[in-house]
Amino acid sequence: METGANRDAKELMQKIGYEFKNEEYLEEALTHRSYSNETEKDRRFNNEKLEFLGDAVLNLITTEYIYELYEKKTEGELAKLKSQIISEPVFSTIASDIELGEYLYLSNGEIMSGGRNRRSILGDAFEALIGAIFKDSDYYTAKNVALKLLLGKINKLEEIEGTGDYKTVLQEFVQGKYRKMPEYKLLNTKGPDHDKVFEISVSWNDKIYGVGIGKSKKEAEKHAAKEALVKLKNKSSKNRRTI
């Protein structure tokens, strides 16, 4: 690949865990329109079409993932969560995490004006990168790479609702009221090895109070604890209304 970026794109492939069969897709994903306009390259050779494709692929990946993971959420709740994930702030943050800006082909003007760190450029480049992986391989490979990068952000968005430390809150409640520890039990595992989903229950006094699903056992336990806390909160509210 041409020199024009600060870093070798092979480093980027190692970071994302995917090696391109056709590196031209990667080069296209990393080429900003300003670079094509400033050089002798075909001006149509830039990442805008791959960005368009990547946006659609990421929409499907995210929709499918949260639909399967959060079975108890309403359509409105899922739509709100999806809109928070499919956003420039999230995509640009992921791009910054993998230093995507250092691999971009930008014009001198864009570089001088801070283009390597501009959120709009980084967010668009991330979409283009996922689009390039989809073109070079298939949907499931693109999904695997995208979810590795997205999962931390999805979990963080979920935790905005509260402290996110549902297991600790539940443990303190159960110990204080029942002098027992909540018990977590694996109920089911589904999906291929590289894309497993775990279903775990939380119980005490031989009664299940919550069931959670997640991409890891830890995540599933967190969601089980959250469901148990919601049930306890609703039960407490009902008792107060009957007094």
The catalytic residue positions are 55, 127
> How many CB atoms are located within 10 Å of the residue 117 CB?
12
Please classify residue 21 by burial: count the beta carbons closer than 10 Å to its beta carbon, then call 0-12 exposed, 13-18 middle and 19+ buried.
exposed
> How many CB atoms are located within 10 Å of the residue 152 CB?
12
Enter the DSSP assignment of 151.
H
Handedness of CA 82, 84, 88, 89 (dihedral sign): negative
Report the candidate in 236, 11, 47 with the shortest Cα–Cα distance to residue 132: 47
Could you tell me which residues come within 8 angstroms of residue 55 by beta carbon, excluding any fewer than 6 positions away? 86, 127, 131
User: Is 51 annotated as contributing to ligand binding?
Assistant: yes
**Single-letter residue type at 111:** I
CA angle 188, 160, 212 (to 5 degrees): 10
Residue 213: enclosing H or E segment and its boundaries?
A: strand 207-214
Structure tokens at 56: 């659609």
Do the Cβ atoms of 122 and 91 come closer than 8 Å?
Answer: yes
Annotated binding site for Mg(2+): 51, 124, 127
Residues placed in the known binding site: 51, 124, 127
